[in-house]
Amino acid sequence: MYNCGKLNYYHIIMLALSIVFSCFFGFSQGQLMFGFYSNSCPNAESIVSQVVSEKVRENPANAPVLLRLHFHDCYVQGCDASILIDNGPNAERSAFGHQGVRGFDVIDQAKAQLEEACPGVVSCADIVAMAARDAVALVNGPRYQVQTGRRDGTVSDKSLADDMPDVNDSIQTLKAKFVSKGLSDKDLVVLSAAHTIGTTACFFMEKRLYSFSLNGVSDPSINPSLLPELQATCPRNGDVNVRLPMDRGSPQTFDKHILQNIRTGFAVIASDAKLYDDVITRSIVDSYFGPLNPVLGPSFETDFVNSMIKMGSIDVKTGTEGQIRRVCRAFN
């Protein structure tokens, strides 16, 4: 199911481009660079990859979990591992907008092994970014190089996560939240499409299924053949912790199938469905299914990689900023 050794033509091209960028350009946005640990901790990336591979083999749900963890970390205070800190009830990780975020144990295990190999060298923020990259590759997603050199933040406050994108936000609110982080409408579409893997809880479905309007009706954008299926899984007043795949029909493979679901009313969560409410985001979704795609049209995989690299550069701390934590759950 998780064929990690097979590279298709696209994967080979992306790997070659990453090597070229690494050799000729070195530094990139946010003063990050490819191969940051090549001298100080040569086995850093392989150690993280091995831990992630083991954890995903044990539980395939860890792939989307690690991808989500990276997004939630970067959105609040930038990619600085602030979400990992476990410093009591006011810790950022306890924010309402972070509910359901997991994967901390995977990062802890990777950090412990890295501390044995290279004490005080590899940041927790870089581990989070590398783990997300490896998780994507393990579910047939694009393989790409991660720029490293992030340092860990020294602030953890749940109030700073109050403005996380919400499943029930309007499309205009979602666009504004992404723009505030330097992310474009295309970034919104392709990063939302990361929901091609993973599940959501019925808790996040209640409004869409039973109180979408004042009349207490369901979201009219839901395909009529999908609605009874969703309501059977998440009945009114049922167990809100029951989980269901966000990409109906292709929940364990990283692909653009979720975008086709959005086009046809089969999006599971409201925020995905709303990508088709706006003329700009709708045109971006449709562009991946044009008559010239994928030969001459945009590549979803390429755009996803570009957006991940862009997201991974949000407000990074580099140089002498922040710290390199000895344990990811606590400040030094």
Q: Return binding residues for heme b.
A: 195
Who contacts 119 (Cβ-Cβ below 8 Å, separation ≥6)? 326
Respond yes or no: is residue 257 known to be catalytic.
no
The two structure tokens encoding residue 124: 């927790």
Which of 254, 72, 82 shows the shortest CA–CA distance to 181? 72
Residue of 11, 70, 72, 257 marked active site: 72
Q: Which residues pair with 201 in a beta bridge?
A: 243
Give Rg (Cα) of the chain.
20
Q: Quick one: which H or E segment has residue 202?
A: none
**Which three-class secondary structure state does DSSP give residue 310?**
helix
Q: Which residues pair with 27 in a beta bridge?
A: 33
Cα gap 278→28, rounded to integer Å: 32
Cα gap 128→33, rounded to integer Å: 16
Which of 54, 51, 52, 66 shows the shortest CA–CA distance to 113? 51
**Which three-class secondary structure state does DSSP give residue 64?**
helix
Residue 290: count of CB within 10 angstroms of its CB: 11
**Residues identified as active-site:** 72
